[in-house]
Amino acid sequence: MEIEQPGQLEPEILLGIVNEKLRLGSGNLADLAAEMELDSLELEQRMAAIGFHYERSVNQFRRR
């Protein structure tokens, strides 16, 4: 699935897409961010703004 301008998506929509991509094969957050042409720190900040943080052990964003 190609997504144009993922950085401009609503955070909740981006969360669903990111977690699906992480679940289906992106090795880690850094790989996914590079694939989606996003800064991983910016992505983490956007997810934190809606109450989610990246859990490396499960390779997903989870609610705090």
Cut 0.75: pTM above it:
yes
Residue 47 has pLDDT above 70, yes or no: yes
Q: Structure tokens of 35? A: 């694939």
No. of helices (H) and no. of strands (E), the chain: 3, 2
- In three-state secondary structure terms, 4 is coil
C-alpha torsion sign, points 23, 48, 13, 10: negative
Task: State the chain's mean pLDDT as an integer.
Answer: 90
**What distance in Å separates the CA atoms of residue 57 and residue 4, rounded to the nearest whole number?**
29
